[in-house]
Amino acid sequence: MDSLPRTLPSSWYRSAPLYQLERRGVFLKAWYLLGPVTRFEIVGEGVDYEIAGVKLVARRTSDEEGAIAVFGEDGTELRSHLTSTGLIFSTISDAAPTFEEFFPELEPLLATVDFTKLPYRKSIKYEGKFNWKTMVDGYQECLHCQYTHPSFSVYYPPTTYAVENHPKSNFSRHIADPEKRDDGLFLYFFPNCTLNVYGGGMSSFRVCPTDDPNVTRMEFDYYHQGVGDVFERYYQFVRQVAMEDFELCEKAQENLLRGVYETGILNPVKETGVAFYQQRVLEQVFEQHEKEETAAAVHIRTDSAVETPTTIEPTAA
Ligand SMILES: [Fe+2]
């Protein structure tokens, strides 16, 4: 049992100070999928985002293809990246590395889908009573699928479901059926974005933490080649799955708050996606904590030097 991966402690799902460490150590250092170019059709019209308390706006700046810029609340331009087949990613702070350093192996995979051919249809957002990691835990495994998603499981049997992790590249690929690897593209981008291409459409969602570790805002964007009934059927199906996950997360968070469960083991085959991203959160939070402790210690030493100037004062006296 010692060799099995373990979960993060339940306290990490309900602690406000811990979330602030995640914010500085994880979120400010990451890249975020904002959407395909079709999300930004109208020149000058801004699309607003808020990620870990940072507000940003993305807008098309001219008719030229791919002329999309992202700005922070104070109007300064944030670093963004347009992939070869039309996806826009952005940073929210200078603390993030370059796109190539964050996602070194991602672009060839994204190049397999032409995202410029997926028209934007609609967005919705709402809050749920759960930690952001409660939702990502669920996305990163499909052990819950047969029980929670009976309609989804007919199309994507949990017995064949697999997750391929790319730890050096900050993403996971979900393979619903290894026999049909090209049937759809399901990706998780560390820490909180997903992209789900299938059935002629695409959904992309962001799991947005708030200052309350027990409240998370879910934001969904939907794209589809079809209109009218064709889109509506797709939309009803994906909303059904999303609401089933939402209810599961609220129930899981209630249990995390009861204080009975502390930590557990992860299935070494079926929960590698959970182990991968939780390990990354753990490392980055520890690293951030250590950095801040060291900085605080240096600060105290500097302060005491200033407060005891007697050794250098005598000459002036
Ligand atoms: Fe689910």
Q: 90 - beta bridge partners? A: 32, 80
CA of 188 to the centre of ligand 1 (A): 13
Strands (E), the chain: 31-36, 46-51, 54-60, 68-72, 77-78, 80-82, 87-91, 120-128, 162-166, 171-175, 185-189, 193-198, 201-209, 216-224
| pLDDT tens series, the chain, 317 aa | 668 999 999 999 999 999 999 999 999 999 999 999 999 999 999 999 999 999 999 999 999 878 999 999 999 999 999 999 999 999 999 999 999 999 999 999 999 999 999 999 999 999 999 999 999 999 999 999 888 988 877 777 777 889 999 999 999 999 987 777 777 899 999 999 999 998 889 999 999 999 999 999 999 999 999 999 999 999 999 999 999 999 999 999 999 999 888 999 999 999 999 999 999 999 999 999 999 999 888 887 766 554 443 333 333 33
Residue with tokens 């603390």: 95
CA of 98 to the centre of ligand 1 (A): 32
CA of 273 to the centre of ligand 1 (A): 13
Burial class (CB in 10 A: 0-12, 13-18, 19+), 261: middle
Give tens-digit pLDDT for 129-164.
999 999 999 999 999 988 898 887 777 777 788 999
Write down all domains in the chain, each with its CATH number in brackets. Answer: 10-28+109-288 (3.90.380.10)
Please state, in angstroms and rounded to a whole number, the distance separating the CA atoms of residues 93 and 152.
37
Cβ atoms of 192 and 132 within 8 Å: the answer is yes
pTM (predicted TM-score) = 0.92
- Quick one: tokens of 238? 């994906």
**Phi (first) and psi of residue 41, to 5 degrees:** -75, -40
CA of 242 to the centre of ligand 1 (A): 7
CA of 243 to the centre of ligand 1 (A): 9
Using H for helix, E for strand and C for coil, what is the string for 34-52? EEEHHHHCCECCEEEEEEC
CA of 194 to the centre of ligand 1 (A): 13
